[in-house]
Structure 1
Amino acid sequence: MTQYEKAQTPEDITRLFVERSNAGDAAGVAALYEPDAVLAYPPGGQTVGRAAIQALWEKVLASGARFEPETPLPTLIHGDLALTATPPKDAAGARAQVARRQPDGSWLRVLDRPEFTPVQR
């Protein structure tokens, strides 16, 4: 099993997502989510669970999708929960995620509403 860099802050998740997506690493993207996380994608639907999220990202990344880093909005943290968001460069709507601090202090996404339009290569 591949050892992935862990998100030490909620904001790290976005950076790691872009790095792993652009490397074509669907398993690495899925590792940023809790095992029972919910992803609001495809539009109008939901993908539930890390395995299903990985399968979805395998399809998205196989299409040649590329992602650009986006400057995060201020993170709202309460206890072990964090609300993160980024204003999208592609004007596709709002991106918001809820992350949870893990027992080891790292962070994983629990809920993700990406609202994105991937750039095709």
Structure 2
Amino acid sequence: MTHEEALTHRETATQHEAATEPNDLGRYFIERANAGDVDGLVALYEPDAVLAFPPGSLATGHARIRQVYEQFVAAAPVLEPGRQHPPLITGDLALTACTLTNGEITAEIARRQPDGSWLWVADQPAITS
């Protein structure tokens, strides 16, 4: 991460509550998506994160992830929280997963940041159950 990216990330993170546990990310995702908060959604990811959405596509980095979520939020979906599974944590990495209300399963990799907060580095939001 460049110094400029770190400053931008820090500025964005201060505007939104930071995830102190890996599973906070899923809860914040639902809240921010339902609020139409694209900046808040992007702030859940590291600057070079990869998002596999829509299915069959990959978005890498904040700019591409922002484009995906601008389109997603424009559709004004109303998301319901699914059943979040306990995170599998090893050191500074965590595997998070959620069974959605439609039966699909999400899988994400989060990384603990130097300040102790968590951000997603890889997000696969639609795995068929």
Give the TM-score normalised by the residue count of structure 2.
0.85
Map of 2:21 onto structure 1: 9
Q: Is the 8 A contact 1:97 1:112 kept in 2?
A: yes
| Residue in structure 2 matching 1:99, options 81, 97, 110 | 110
Residue 22 of structure 1, CA deviation? 0.3
Q: Which amino acid aligns with 1:84?
A: T
What SS does the corresponding residue of 2:54 show, helix, strand or coil?
A: coil
Q: More helix per residue: 1 or 2?
A: 2
Return the alpha-carbon distance in structure 2 between the equivalents of residues 16 and 64 of structure 1. 17
User: Could you tell me how far apart the structure 2 residues matched to 1:59 and 1:45 are?
Assistant: 14
Letter in 2 for 1:28: G
Secondary structure of 2:69's counterpart equals helix
State the alpha-carbon separation in 2 of the partners of residues 62 and 86 from structure 1: 24
Q: How far does residue 15 in structure 1 lie from its aligned partner after superposition? A: 0.6
The Cα of 1:39 is off from its aligned counterpart by 0.4
Matched, 1:73 2:85: yes
**Structure 1 CA distance, aligned partners of 2:83 and 2:101?**
9
TM superposition shift of 1:21: 0.4
* 8 A contact 2:51–2:60 mirrored in 1: yes
Between the aligned partners of 1:27 and 1:52, the Cα distance in structure 2 is 13
Residue aligned with 1:114, SS: strand
**2:73 matched residue in structure 1:** 61
Contact residue 22 and residue 66 of structure 1 kept, 8 A: yes
**Does the residue aligned with 2:55 lie in a helix, a strand or coil?**
coil
Q: Which runs of 5+ in 1 are unaligned?
A: 117-121
Q: Give the unaligned 5+ runs of structure 2.
A: 1-10
Q: Runs of 4 or more off by more than 3 Å in structure 1?
A: none
| Aligned mates of 2:123, 2:44 — CA distance in 1 | 11
Which residue of structure 2 lines up, in the alignment, with residue 119 of structure 1? none
Amino-acid identity (%): 51
Aligned-pair RMSD on alpha carbons? 1.3
Alignment length (residue pairs): 115
SS in 2 for 1:10: coil
Is 1:29 aligned with 2:27?
no
Please tell me the residue identity of whatever aligns with 1:113. Answer: Q
